[in-house]
Chain A
């Protein structure tokens, strides 16, 4: 059947359409999700217009809301990229959450102990330390996959639990600040990323995120290592045939993936929370999977998908507060987007008619 598809689609699509094919499908998916969402809002007895205008207003309506959207976007860029990087080598890294916790924890602790360093060394250094901690957490499933064939979906999920609990354990045992809250002390002012807009908590982290997107994009398009990792992901047999050590590539890609996921944690600590707190994440690592799927595993696609999810999250707050529409609806719309993206055949069919 696939053959017919291939022939049918490949010949029938106009070239331009083909070029933007992925984006068109993604946008169609988003539109459909909102459409179905509006039916649900209507059926629940709310005003669709009020809901969506509150959603839009909450996400982009004024400078402050926009900054909040971007603030929520940053961790999703990192975790989405992390998942996309894993996918490039054919691995499904569900461990973003754990890797992020490790990154956040390592950054928080390192910052406190290295606060004597000058800012321009301290900030890059603790970012790298956070990345490396995430990287170490990505290495384990990668290594297990390469050595024993243990499926990365299982191992990364388990590493999530271990990661979240081990940071919590270390925190309580060695680094907890006095008081009832399981958290470290505040990191020194010098290590806090400067805010772009006062009180917004939107910091230079957004530039770090975009910078990482560019690096990853170049990495996969232009470097030999990126090429090798992708080849393993696209066709492992062909990679081995070509003399590429697929095990090594899988471990490396998991480490890079973990590094980027770790940065999600680092930037949250340095830009938003200014300390490590247990259970700080609302599941950025998992939302990252959705972001990667919607972004078609392309670095710039991840950026747009992350903005969408960040906007939904932020706009949802206004929708909940002032239009009194439950936050659950946002979760449903997010789910629908993924459903429609993951069912591209359905959308392709709809488009072709």
Chain B
């Protein structure tokens, strides 16, 4: 049965056509991936389905009957549920309170918490969505928050679940758990629409895939009949190299040295312990780890945003352990921050103001910013790093995630640095942009820059890094230059790499 059918949906924002005659059929009980680059129109289409936008033209059929969905309440009534990428939970309330909010079971006009707890417990048991039912949202992990979001939708008796890029915020383990949940939901007869731009996930989880590009449906295919390469081509509209070629380079002098760096937290907890890293000219050192194992803190220590408890950081022969960020930057320290939106960009600023961020004093004469120099420089950066924008003076908010990332990378690579700290440089970025970013990082390597690549993406690490360190619970647990994917995944998960286990995990990953 076709549970949802979109018939020539058109949605415009001003002159911009976000959805251009979309025809799409979702079958009952399937996991259907909507694949496309940022800005391809996936989210817009789902927002139309969810009653948040009104299409200019077209019809939606639900359970083979035409229907009008004017607002989210109607959508929920019709059995639709949306799990947003940015969770809509109230930090101060407990999981149960968040799940029942707006639909509270009542007793004598008061919220019947006992009944609520029972109901939540029951649903969570049915689908194996383990949560702590009386814990506040602020105290639980991101993965668990997502489970709360799913429960919230199930509590409202949703039959069709829409996931908007659900893996963007999750660790690899959490992704695995989510996929298990999705399969259980499917087994329970639910229909799932999964919005993503990640090829592997699509291959892994979906039954059918619809690829969108520039607001149009390119094709709908059965997952078993396609390959990542084919999907990538449909998505981007050209051939994409999924693996980059890397030439062997000669290594020069040591550029960055981290010696016995330790960081103790507020509650005397060990965050980083005896970290030793040394990176030479023309070398990419990868730091692999599941997020939350101290990478973020290491990133902050290296850039000077956080004080180290002990140890030394040496850049180009000078000790910079206690040097302020500004001076570190002056000494040739570039930094692509892991949280690009939070640290890397000022969302209310236009492109030029973002491009000079951290480097503003080079464009200052007698205290005044030299607008002409700035514009020229920005034009150069934008061109060189293929940042797609309408004008230099538009808000950086108008750019897609990939272009924002390219802007930050362009900014950081254009200052002729000695050392580049690239933290999660491709997080949340689509395939086309990933390729571009990888090529630029390799270009830097060729120019004899020293690069520390912090990443959770196994493929990225394996294809870019000359050497990989694995960080687990604040300690470097392994260092090698040739890992297998399985080995690396296991080390990141904190397991000692015995042959047997490697074999086992290898099988599991293959089976997935």
Residues of A within 8 A of B (CB): 1, 3-4, 6-8, 10-14, 222-225, 227-228, 231, 234-235, 237-245
A10 surroundings in chain B (CB, below 8 A): 13, 397-398
B367 close to A224 (CB less than 8 A): yes
CB distance from A237 to the nearest CB of B (A): 5
Assess whether B16 is in contact with A241, with CB atoms less than 8 Å apart. Answer: no
- In the complex the two chains form, is A222's CB within 8 Å of B371's CB? yes
Once the chains bind, are A238 and B342 in contact (CB under 8 Å)?
A: yes
Provide the main secondary structure of the chain A interface. Answer: helix
B369 contacts the other chain (CB 8 A): yes
Partner of B343, one of A7, A222, A241: A241
Contact in complex: A245, B326 (CB < 8 Å): yes
Q: In the complex, what residues of A have CB within 8 A of residue B305's CB?
A: 240-241
A1 and B325 contact, Cβ closer than 8 Å, known pairs A12-B14, A223-B368? no
Q: Does B76 contact A (CB under 8 A)?
A: no
- Chain B residue with Cβ nearest A13: B14
Tell me, in angstroms, the Cα distance from A191 to B345 when the chains sit together.
49
Inter-chain contact A4/B358, CB cutoff 8 Å: no
Closest to B340 in A: A238
Within 8 Å of chain A (Cβ to Cβ): is B324? yes
In the complex, A238 Cα to B348 Cα: how many Å? 12
In the complex, the answer to whether A14 meets B14 with C-beta atoms within 8 Å is: yes
Q: How far in angstroms is the closest Cβ of chain B from A12?
A: 6
Q: Tell me which residues across on chain A come within 8 A of B398, comparing CB atoms.
A: 10
A8 touches B14 (CB 8 A): no
Partner of A11, one of B14, B328, B335, B343: B14
Closest 5 A-B residue pairs measured CB to CB? A11-B13, A243-B326, A242-B358, A243-B325, A224-B364
Whole-angstrom CA separation of A11 from B347 in the bound complex: 17
Q: Closest Cβ of chain A: how far from B300's Cβ, in Å? A: 9
Q: Could you list 16 examples of A-B contacts with CB < 8 Å?
A: A7-B44, A8-B53, A12-B14, A222-B371, A224-B360, A224-B368, A227-B369, A234-B346, A235-B342, A235-B345, A238-B343, A238-B346, A241-B325, A241-B343, A241-B344, A243-B358
Output the nearest chain A residue to B363 by Cβ-Cβ distance: A224
| Per-position binary interface string of chain B over residues 446-470, scored 1 when its CB falls under 8 Å from any chain A CB and 0 otherwise | 0000000000000000000000000
Whether B152 sits at the interface, judged by CB under 8 Å, is: no
CA distance A4 to B13 in the complex (A): 12
Chain B min CB distance to A243 (Å): 3
Are A240 and B14 in contact, CB atoms less than 8 angstroms apart?
Answer: no
Q: Is the CB of A243 within 8 A of B324?
A: yes
B329 within 8 A of A: yes
User: How many angstroms from the CA of A152 to the CA of B156 in the assembled complex?
Assistant: 43
A69 to B358, CA, bound (A): 45
Nearest-CB residue, chain B, relative to A240: B305
CA–CA, A242 to B362, complex, Å?
A: 13
Bound-state CA distance A237–B337 (Å) is 11
B18 within 8 A of A: yes
Min C-beta distance of B325 to chain A, whole Å? 4
Give the distance in Å from the alpha carbon of A234 to the alpha carbon of B363 in the complex: 20
Q: Residues of B contacting A4 with CB < 8 Å?
A: 47, 52-53
What's the Cα separation between A239 and B343 when bound, in Å?
A: 8
Given contacts A12-B14, A245-B326, contact A227 B360 (CB under 8 A): yes
Are A240 and B13 touching (Cβ within 8 A)? no
Q: How far is the CA of A238 from the CA of B368 in the complex (A)?
A: 21
The answer to whether residues A238 and B14 also contact, given A243-B326, A243-B328 and a CB cut-off of 8 A, is: no
Interface size, chain B (Cβ < 8 Å): 47
Residues of A within 8 A of B349 (CB): 231, 234
Cβ–Cβ < 8 Å partners of B96 in chain A: none
12 further contact pairs, Cβ within 8 A, besides A224-B369, A240-B305? A7-B13, A7-B44, A10-B13, A10-B397, A224-B360, A234-B346, A237-B339, A242-B329, A243-B326, A243-B327, A243-B328, A243-B358
**Distance of A240 from chain B, by nearest CB (Å):** 6
Cβ contact within 8 Å between A237 and B342: yes
Q: How far is the CA of A11 from the CA of B18 in the complex (A)?
A: 10
Question: Separation in Å of the B90 CB from the closest CB of chain A?
Answer: 13
* Closest A residue to B325 using CB positions: A243
Cβ of B303 < 8 Å from any Cβ of A?
yes
Restricting to B362-381, which residues have a CB under 8 Å from any CB of A? 363-364, 367-369, 371
Chain B residues near A240 (CB-CB < 8 A): 305, 325, 343
Q: Which residue of A lies closest to B356 (CB)?
A: A227
Distance of A7 Cα from B14 Cα, bound (Å): 11
In the complex the two chains form, what is the Cα distance from A339 to B53 in whole Å? 28
Among B345, B369, B397, which residue has its beta carbon within 8 angstroms of that of A223?
B369
Q: Judging by beta carbons under 8 Å apart, are B88 and A241 in contact?
A: no
Does B358 contact A241, Cβ atoms closer than 8 Å? yes
Is there an interface contact between A225 and B367, defined as CB atoms closer than 8 Å?
yes
Known: A6-B397, A12-B13, A12-B14. A241 touches B303 (CB 8 A): yes
Tell yes or no: B501 within 8 A of A by CB. Answer: no
Write the chain A residue with the least CB distance to B329.
Answer: A243
Which chain A residues lie closer than 8 Å to B339 at the CB level? 237
Q: Is B62 an interface residue (CB 8 A)?
A: no
Cβ–Cβ < 8 Å partners of A241 in chain B: 303, 305, 325, 335, 337, 343-344, 358
Task: Confirm or deny: B175 has a beta carbon within 8 angstroms of a beta carbon on chain A.
Answer: no
Within the assembled complex, what's the spacing in Å between the Cα atoms of A3 and B47?
Answer: 11
Q: Is B118 at the interface (CB under 8 A from chain A)?
A: no
A232 → chain B, closest Cβ, in Å?
Answer: 10
* Neighbouring A residues of B73 by C-beta, 8 Å: none
Most chain A CB within a 10 A radius of its CB, from B16, B53, B335, B369: B369
Contact digits for B96-117, partner A, Cβ 8 Å, 1 yes 0 no: 0000000000000000000000
B361 lies within 8 A of chain A by Cβ: yes
Q: In whole Å, how far is A222's beta carbon from the nearest beta carbon of chain B?
A: 5
Known contacts A238-B345, A241-B325; is-contact A222 B88 (Cβ 8 Å): no
State whether B367 touches A238 (Cβ < 8 A): no
Q: Report the Cα distance A245→B367, complex, angstroms.
A: 16
Contacts of B303 in A (CB 8 A): 241
Q: Who on chain B is nearest to A242 by CB? A: B358
Known: A235-B346, A238-B346, A241-B337. A3 touches B86 (CB 8 A): yes
Residues of A within 8 A of B369 (CB): 222-224, 227
A242→B357 contact, CB < 8 A: yes
Alpha-carbon separation in the docked complex, A245 to B397 (Å): 25
Residues of B within 8 Å of A11, CB to CB, are 13-14, 16, 18
Q: How far is the CA of A231 from the CA of B348 in the complex (A)?
A: 10
Of the candidates B303, B337, B346, the one having the most CB atoms from chain A within 10 angstroms of its own CB is B346
Complex contacts, B348 vs chain A, CB 8 Å: 234-235
Q: Residue B32 at the A interface, CB < 8 A? A: no
The residues of B that contact A244 with a CB separation of less than 8 Å are 326
